Amino acid sequence: MEKPKVLISDKLSPAAVDIFRTRGVEVDVKTGLTPAELRAIVGGYDGLAIRSATKVTAEVLAEAKRLRVVGRAGIGVDNVDIKAATARGVVVMNTPHGNAITTAEHAIAMMFALARQIPEASASTRAGKWEKNRFMGAELFGKTLGVIGCGNIGAIVADRALGLKMKVIAYDPFLSDARAVDLGVEKVELPELFSRSDIITLHTPLTEGTRNIIDARAIGRMKKGVRIINCARGGLVVESDLAEALRSGHVAGAALDVFETEPATENPLFALENVVCTPHLGASTTEAQENVALQIAEQMSDFLLTGAVSNAINMPSVSAEEAPRLAPYMALCRNLGAFAGQLSVARDGGFGRVTIEYEGAAAALNHKPLTAAALAGLLGPLMEGVNMVNAPVAARERGIELTEAVHDRPSEYQTLVRISVTTDRDTRSVAGTLFAGAKPRVVEIKGIPVEADFTRHMLYVTNKDQPGFIGRFGAALSDAGINIATFHLGRAEKGGDAICLVSVDEPVPEAVLGKVRALPLVVNATALGF
C-alpha cells in the first residue's frame, strides 16, 4: 500500500518532520512557495501542513486532486478557504490548544504594558530622560475586565485576571451558565460588557458575525477612559474608529498584536503615543511553536493512517481510540446510504427527507461521523467526489431534511442502523448490522427481513410472491451469461410483496435489466454497486 504523502509549505519544527516520517508518512518540506508554485505541486500530496504564510485558496484546492487534509499549526484558519475545502471533501484541522497559554499570557502582558505605559517609559528612560511624573499608570486591581470570546484562550485570560483580583465579565454566545460559574466570570450581553468594562480584551475568531465588532458605535457605548486589547484577529476592530477615539481621549489606550492588514508596516495607530503594538507575537514562544507543530503532525498522521479526526473545522471529530471501533460502523452506514440512494435515484431521481436510526450498540456510539458516512453513501449516486466532509453540507444545500434517532430499546440484533428515505412517491427503508462485529450486512429492506452481505455487483428485484419467479429470473441471468454468486429472498407475507437480492460476478447491463423487468411477476429491478 502506498504511503500517504504530506507537503510542509511553512516553517515547522524538525521534530514535526520526524513525527511524520516515524509514523510512516512521506513528507516534503518546501517553504516560501509562490501561489503558482504551490498550485503546480499540490496535486501530488494527501496532506498539506501550514502556518499562517501559505494561503490555501479555492484556486490551490482546485489543483489538489489528491488532497485529503489541510493542517494548520495554530488556531486561526482565515488563510484557508474553508468553504472551498469542504466542497472538495478536504478536512481542515487546526491546533486550538497548542498556543492557548502563550497567547493568553501575551494578552496579559499587553494589559500590564498598557496600564503602566511601559514601552513609552522605557523609550524615554533609554533616551536619557527621567520623566517620572509623565507616566502616571493605572492599577489593575479591582478593575473590570471584559472578555469578548471565552473559549480556550479567553478562559485562560479570565483565570489570570481573577488571580490579579480583577472583576471579570464575559460575552460569548456559546458560554453556558454552568461554564461561567466554573470559570468564576459573570456572563453578560455585549452592550453591558461595553458599558461596564474598564479594559476590554478580544479572544474571538474572525467571522462575518464578529468582523468590526468594535467600531465607532460600540466605542460610543464604552465608558470614557476604557482600554482595548486585541491579540485575536485583525478585522475585529475598525482601526480608523479606534484611532479617532484614542485621539479624542474617549479610549485611554489600546494594545494591538494583530492588524487588519499584515504585515502592518503602515497604520494610523502607529503615530499615537497611547498605543502599544507588537507584530503578531501572540503565539511566538519557543514552547508554543514547538507544541503546535508537533500537535499538527500527530493529528494529520492519525487521520491519514487511521482515519482519526481531531480538531477539525469542517467535520465531526473521531478520536484515535474511536477510529478503529467506528470504522466498520462507518462502512455499514456508507453502504446502507448507498443502497437507499441508488434505489431512490433510480426510481424517483432524488429524495427530500432522510431518517437515520441507531439501535443496540450503535446507539451508544459517536453517531455524528456515522451520519456523515451515511449521507456520503446516500448522495454518491447524485454527485461526484462526495465524502464525509462535504456530504452534510451538500445535503443542506439540496434541501434534504435530516432526522437522527437514537433508540434505547431492545433490538433483534446486537447493533442496528436503519435509513429511511422519503420521496414524492413513498418512503422506503433499509437496515443493517455488523456480522461478527466487523462485516456490514443488510438485514431488512422495506420492513421485509432479508440477510445479505454487501458485494461489488448486486441486483435488487421486487416481485410478487408466486411460483415461477425464481426459475424465470435465474434463466434470464443465465441466458445473458451472468453468474449468480449468492441469492437471497424475503417476503412480507405469503403471496404478497417479495424481494430478491442477488450478488453477481459482473455488472448487469441495462439490456439485461430490461429483460428482468419484463418478466412475469417482476415489479422492478435495479442494479446496485458497492
- For the annotated catalytic residues, the residue numbers are 233, 262, 280
Question: What gap in Å lies between CA 504 and CA 478, rounded to an integer?
Answer: 11
CA distance 49 to 7: 6
CB 145 within 8 A of CB 199: yes
Cell of 456: 461489488
Task: Indicate the Cα dihedral angle 436, 442, 444, 450, nearest 10°.
Answer: -90
User: What are the residue ranges of helices labelled H in 164-206?
Assistant: 177-183, 190-196
In angstroms, the CA 198 to CA 139 distance is 11
Report which of 435, 78, 456, 513 is spatially closest to residue 261, judged by C-alpha positions: 78
Residues in CB range of 293: below 8 A, 6 or more apart: 12, 13, 15, 16, 73
Asked if residue 140 lies in contact with residue 111, where contact means CB atoms within 8 angstroms, the answer is yes
Chain centre to alpha carbon of residue 58 = 17
Q: How far apart are CA 133 and CA 419, in angstroms?
A: 75
> If phi over 0 gives left and psi between -120 and 50 gives alpha, with beta otherwise, what is residue 140?
alpha
C-alpha span between 200 and 101 (Å, rounded):
19
CA distance 249 to 228: 13
Contact (Cβ atoms closer than 8 angstroms) between residue 460 and residue 450: no
- CA-to-CA distance for 441 and 450, rounded, in angstroms? 10
Helix count (H) and strand count (E) of the chain? 17, 22
d(CA 284, CA 250): 31
